Structure 1
Amino acid sequence: MKPLRILIGADTYAPDVNGLSRFSSRLAAGLAARGHEVHVVAPSHDGPPAVRVEDGVTVHTVKSHRWFSHPTFRVAWPWTTRPRTARLFAEIAPDVLHVQGHFPVGRGLVHAARAAGTPIVATNHFMPENLVGHARVPRPLQKPVTKIGWWDMNLIYRHADVVTAPTPRAVELLEKATGMTGSLAVSCGIDAARYRGAEPDRDGPVRVLFVGRMDQEKRVDELLRAFAALPAGHRAELEIIGEGVMREEWTGLAAELGIGTRTSFRGFVSEEELVAAYQRASVFCMPGIAELQSLVTLEAMAAGTPVIAADAMALPHLVRPGRNGWLYTPGDVPELTTRLAALVGDADMRRRMGAASRDLVAAHELGATLSTFEGIYQRLLGRREAGAVRAA
């Protein structure tokens, strides 16, 4: 395959810690490792614009500002970002643009690519619940903000030559909300081998793990209440990795429920510590209701961990009830307690379901995702070249 110059636009990128930034950085590094020239444009992690090279990728950052209601969320203002992204686009002159959102960075790059006639691929990671949670939108305004958010996204993504989303459920949501058709489901993908390790210690306590933002749509309070309701006699510990606006409240809830000494809130951890946490976990729980795929659930599955997840959004694509874990009705804490108790109390079930998780995650290998996007880029460039020949 002929090496391409690929520009990835993302409104959050490493070292930010969230699913979108982790996917974008893995996509960029993976494409660079395959011989492509890869550039990324993203908001600065600490404010000032800069250029750096990491994992073979040239990362151009634009000036960003801290969002007033969130400790880690940063935004790039559109009135300064659009001229900057236009200049960067002209300097980079990519063969193809691949944006990860419709916010200021993605928006500016799409306008520049459209003016230049450059093929555009757009992947949707947008969920209204994530937007209103991050921005702390008051409840009475959440419904109109959600409607405006989808309308605004459609204004930008309608210019893309190909639109993708991580799962069939995510595609269904996108098309229903915007009226788009023809979108493709392409898994975010993971390097499954990175997470494989020895089985958890059968003689130690059963470790229940959650990884994700400490924000309202993740519903960690349901996990805390279910864990506290486990029958007496279970030797279990709960490990929670992630940061967010709800951490203090949920830490207080754990103490109130009497599980503070058996629950560790670890905040952000390094990639190495995260891998170690997956490998020592006995059960992974994802109670979130706004998952378009859930990379952390895929990572836990790759480590050979059974999964209990909310029966919401795209999580049913990952959890096969009775095979690699269980689904439960969001908000039904007694049902979650029952599912947790069954796995916490049965080592053989955990081992069997963990092995099934490893089998199921094979369909989400990063290599397949990279090949799919390479194929999309090449098809779009082929169409453009054919059109230029006909015009000549």
Structure 2
Amino acid sequence: MSTSFAPHPPTVTGPAPSGGGRRRSRVLIGTDTYPPDVNGAAYFTARLVRGLTERGVDVHLVCPSPTGPPHVVERDGVVEHRLRSMPSLAHESVRLALPTGVRGHLNRLLDRLRPDAVHIQNHFLVGRMLTGAACDHGVPVVATNHFMPENLFDHLRMPWPLRPYAARLAWWDLNRILGRAEHVTTPTPTAARLLREQGFVHTVEAVSCGIDLDRFRPLPEDSEVDERRRLRARFGLPDRPTMLFVGRLDEEKRIDELVRAVARTSDVQLVLAGQGSHRERSAELARSEGVADRVRFLGFVAHEDLPDVYRCADVFTIAGIAELQSIATLEAMASGLPVVAADAMALPHLVEEGRNGHLYEPGDPDGLADRVESVVTSERNRARMGEHSRLMASRHRLEDSLKRFERIYEDASVGAFASFSGGR
């Protein structure tokens, strides 16, 4: 793609190992959100850095400090360079890096690390500052977009009349930052098309967020019923047909549609695993709809317990209209669950109608309820759809995504070297 990448001399990570072996590649990943933050971009980045490290890549991460003071820590082979931060006014679980002094720190970090590539996950404070520093140092930039303006409006308490204007400004700003990258990815073809529709003129590649098929897997068929009953008891859930949602309980996730759909079913319960600004509003809606006893809030679920939460369910439901892929839906599919999803944004990529689940028209809780009922009332259909979900999830192996990102880094680095050499 055409970029504004500056043809400075490429940095070098050091001499090749003795004996002619290939040197270890190094990548510096920058993000404005990372665990303990709870959101899809943070979780994707965490899986990316862990997976790359396990594949032998030397990974350094720059992101805001979760507590405020800056520090450097190594976790599971990943070196985290945590920047001084302050609480975010937009989201209770996200902190913002303080810009003061960050550019100088990034310059020194790039001089010392000499990475083959920089990979930004956001175009906000960290992403834009790291992009500028990398371009000045001749380090190629890879960018992955997880952003839609709709995901911020509720947190910013943006008045509805101003949202169209704010969205146009946000897309313009995104395009300006991503236009400096050597290579741009986003999770799905729909997300790539959205970028182009919003004026991004460079090539965008769809690279799935990927899913760990070993961690998320169905219950053994010969003990499925007993195991599901045991797991429901463990989480304090009644043993009844269960529709599940995993994710933030925020405006763009449209939890109200899930609650209203439960009220239109006969004996189905809704389990919500996650937390967010609409938790109390959802509980009040459940009371007003007369289904408070059938809407269960699990709150935040620990990383190690999440696979078992999926195994409690009969069907995964998602009503969001701003999903660029939906990691939670992929996890549910890998766990062998049918999916009933809103026919919006990238969710149709994860549903083959009638084969692994159903799509419904956003804003139609009756349609959602009908499709949920059709799944849970037939064990044979549920099992068949669950098997096909697992098959579809196998097309999104995390290992394949990691391999692709490694190749992108390599190609970007070679391209940077070629640009420099050709200009000498």
Which category of TM-score, normalised to the shorter sequence, fits these structures?
A: over 0.9
Q: Distance in 2 between matches of 1:114 and 1:44?
A: 24
Q: Distance in 2 between matches of 1:80 and 1:213?
A: 33
Unaligned runs of 5+ in 1: none
Letter in 2 for 1:229: R
Deviates more, 1:39-48 or 1:83-92: 83-92
**Does 1:220 find its partner at 2:247?**
no
Q: Distance in 1 between matches of 2:88 and 2:278?
A: 16
Q: Distance in 2 between matches of 1:193 and 1:309?
A: 24
- 2:206 corresponding residue in structure 1: 185
Contact 2:74 2:80 in 1 (8 A): yes
- 1:119 corresponding residue in structure 2: 140
- 1:41 corresponding residue in structure 2: 62
- 1:132 corresponding residue in structure 2: 153
Letter in 1 for 2:247: G
Compared CA separation, residues 20 and 69, structure 1 to 2 (3 A): closer
Contact 2:179 2:202 in 1 (8 A): no
Compared CA separation, residues 84 and 246, structure 1 to 2 (3 A): farther
Contact 2:121 2:144 in 1 (8 A): yes
Contact 1:85 1:105 in 2 (8 A): no
**Does 1:88 find its partner at 2:109?**
yes
Q: 1:151-162 residue pairs with structure 2 within 5 A?
A: 151-162=172-183
* Superposed displacement of residue 349, structure 1: 1.0
* Superposed displacement of residue 69, structure 1: 4.8
Partner of residue 225 from structure 2, selected from 179, 196, 201 = 201
Partner of residue 294 from structure 1, selected from 326, 344, 347 = 326
Partner of residue 354 from structure 1, selected from 365, 373, 386 = 386
Contact 1:81 1:104 in 2 (8 A): no
Per-residue CA deviations over 1:53-74 (Å, capped at 9, x if unaligned) read 1121101111222223532232
Partner of residue 106 from structure 1, selected from 116, 122, 127 = 127
Q: Distance in 2 between matches of 1:114 and 1:197?
A: 45
Report the 3-state secondary structure (helix = DSSP H, G, I; strand = E; otherwise coil) of the residue aligned with 1:60: strand
Q: Distance in 1 between matches of 2:214 and 2:176?
A: 39
Q: Distance in 2 between matches of 1:84 and 1:288?
A: 38
Partner of residue 331 from structure 1, selected from 358, 363, 388 = 363
Partner of residue 12 from structure 1, selected from 33, 45, 48 = 33
Contact 2:315 2:340 in 1 (8 A): yes
* Superposed displacement of residue 287, structure 1: 0.6
Letter in 2 for 1:10: T
**Does 1:307 find its partner at 2:335?**
no
Q: Distance in 2 between matches of 1:55 and 1:387?
A: 35
Report the 3-state secondary structure (helix = DSSP H, G, I; strand = E; otherwise coil) of the residue aligned with 2:416: helix
Q: 1:233-382 residue pairs with structure 2 within 5 A?
A: 234=267, 236-382=268-414
Contact 2:257 2:363 in 1 (8 A): yes
Contact 1:239 1:263 in 2 (8 A): yes
Per-residue CA deviations over 1:288-318 (Å, capped at 9, x if unaligned) read 1100000000000000000000000000000
Compared CA separation, residues 132 and 90, structure 1 to 2 (3 A): farther
Partner of residue 188 from structure 2, selected from 167, 172, 182 = 167
Q: Report percent identity of matched pairs.
A: 47
Q: Distance in 2 between matches of 1:126 and 1:284?
A: 24
* Superposed displacement of residue 381, structure 1: 1.7
Compared CA separation, residues 60 and 338, structure 1 to 2 (3 A): same
Unaligned runs of 5+ in 2: 1-21, 230-238
Letter in 2 for 1:201: V
Contact 1:201 1:280 in 2 (8 A): no
Contact 1:62 1:76 in 2 (8 A): yes
Q: Distance in 2 between matches of 1:339 and 1:80?
A: 54
Contact 2:83 2:98 in 1 (8 A): no
**Does 1:75 find its partner at 2:73?**
no
Q: Distance in 2 between matches of 1:333 and 1:197?
A: 28
1 or 2 for the larger relative contact order (CA 8 Å, sep ≥6)? 2
Contact 2:150 2:252 in 1 (8 A): yes
Report the 3-state secondary structure (helix = DSSP H, G, I; strand = E; otherwise coil) of the residue aligned with 1:291: coil
Contact 1:82 1:104 in 2 (8 A): no
Q: Distance in 2 between matches of 1:52 and 1:178?
A: 39
Q: 1:46-61 residue pairs with structure 2 within 5 A?
A: 46-61=67-82
* Superposed displacement of residue 76, structure 1: 2.1
* Superposed displacement of residue 48, structure 1: 1.8
* Superposed displacement of residue 80, structure 1: 4.9
Contact 1:238 1:264 in 2 (8 A): yes
* Superposed displacement of residue 86, structure 1: 3.4
Contact 1:130 1:217 in 2 (8 A): yes
Per-residue CA deviations over 1:144-174 (Å, capped at 9, x if unaligned) read 1111111111111111010111000000001
Report the 3-state secondary structure (helix = DSSP H, G, I; strand = E; otherwise coil) of the residue aligned with 2:265: coil
RMSD: 1.6
Q: Distance in 2 between matches of 1:214 and 1:88?
A: 37
Contact 1:102 1:153 in 2 (8 A): yes
* Superposed displacement of residue 186, structure 1: 0.5
Larger Rg: 2
Q: Distance in 1 between matches of 2:153 and 2:275?
A: 17
Contact 2:117 2:409 in 1 (8 A): yes
Q: Distance in 2 between matches of 1:279 and 1:44?
A: 34
* Superposed displacement of residue 103, structure 1: 0.3
